[in-house]
Chains A and B, each alone.
Chain A
Amino acid sequence: MAQVLDVFLNGIAGVFAGMGVLYLTLKLLAMLPGGRRKEDQQQ
């Protein structure tokens, strides 16, 4: 049972952590030079 709880909690935490890091990556990507089009920068 302890193992199952461990997998359960680690799993949920892991998925959100993984997606969270990916989110930050996307945010960083958006800051790349050329990451935004000119019209967006003007806004």
Chain B
Amino acid sequence: MEFIEGMGLLSVTPDLVLMWGIGLALIYLAVTRQYEPLLLLPIGFGILLANLPLALLMAPEEGLIWHFYHYGIEWGIIPPLIFLGIGALTDFGPLLSQPRLIFLGAGAQVGVYVTFFIAYGIGFSVEEAATIGIIGGADGPTTIFLAAKLAPHLLGACAVAAYSYMALVPIIQPPIMRLLTTETERKIKMQKGRKVSAREKIFFPIIAAMVIILIVPASAPLMAMFMLGNLFRESGVVDRLTDTAQNSLLNIVTIFLGVSVGATMSADSFLRKDAIFIFFLGLFAFMLSTAGGVLLAKLMNAFTSNKINPLVGAAGVSAVPMAARVAQKVGAQADKKNYLLMFAMGPNIAGVIGTVIAAGIFLTMLK
């Protein structure tokens, strides 16, 4: 009868079944709606696996996925490798051509800090509050990186919140953008920036890595890999490395990231009212960051004759390139011959850098 006693089936509890439902829901959203499928699919399956009793896939020192999680995420290896790939995929041209747009990427971090403040007020610890706030940066790897260091028990919920809201950017952002801008502002046609030379694009990742890491050393793991990937790309002499970083390597680490993040969501760590608060606060952070970017753009317009279309400010949340696409779409609704996509890429990329800096400052002050 030992076999029967060893069956997981007898240890199934209602909580576990609820978690299966959550895992299946994410898989469903990924497959039918294509909501961030590259991440939500493995995350959903990871949730299922973590909640199969007696399988011990997440048992410390023993379980398969525990090893993925421990060496990949707890050791902080996978998120920087994702950044290597993103760096190799990113064209900093739009930012180099209009440097002032970089501030919009900073403005969109407002949601991070305000939410941090509120989360602490509600009763989360400082470390937990920082992890929840960073969801507002709309950057998955950074959220996971910070959570692993400050509040690992919230990692699953924060990562799922961040990735779900990123998928919902086209629904969450437009109403806020329309609310905060006038029709005339949405019709603003921006002046083209200057052309950026190949040499400038090579210098940028080298200098930016040095400058940012000198200012916020704790941002080094993410920033270093981000800029290294970009240097591969812009140097033009290591196509093989660029190709590996942005394709094979990125895909490989995405698999381990997704399944490990999902597997952190066991019923006892996830089914608490904290999780609900995290989802609300994350959404709030996201909305506030959108507003922060738009309002900063309007503020900058007060001081310059070369007007910025405030819609591109909303792209300061880092969800690349979804937020930039949203700016393009909302702009085109006001004037269909207004092409904001490339302008919005500037704040969009700056937002990634801004979120990494914000995470670095949290780490410096709280770790």
Contacts and interface: CB of A to CB of B under 8 A. Distances in A.
Interface of A: 3-4, 6-8, 10-12, 14-23, 25-27, 29-30, 32, 34-37, 39-40
B113 A11 contact: yes
A29 B203 contact: yes
A15 B194 contact: no
B93 to A, nearest CB: 12
A34 B199 contact: yes
B255 interface: no
Interface in B85-110: 95-96, 99-100, 102-103, 105-106, 109-110
B184 interface: no
Contacts of B216: 14, 18
B110 A12 contact: yes
Contact of B106 (A4, A19, A35, A36): A19
Contacts of B361: 7, 10-11, 14-15
Interface range on chain B (Cβ under 8 Å from partner): 35 or more
Q: Looking at chain A's contact residues, is the secondary structure mostly helix, strand, loop, or mixed?
A: helix
Contacts of B102: 19, 22-23, 26
A35 B116 contact: no
Given A25-B207, A29-B200, A39-B195, A8 B113 contact: yes
A32 B199 contact: yes
Nearest to A40: B194
A23 B207 CA distance: 12
Contacts of B197: 34-37
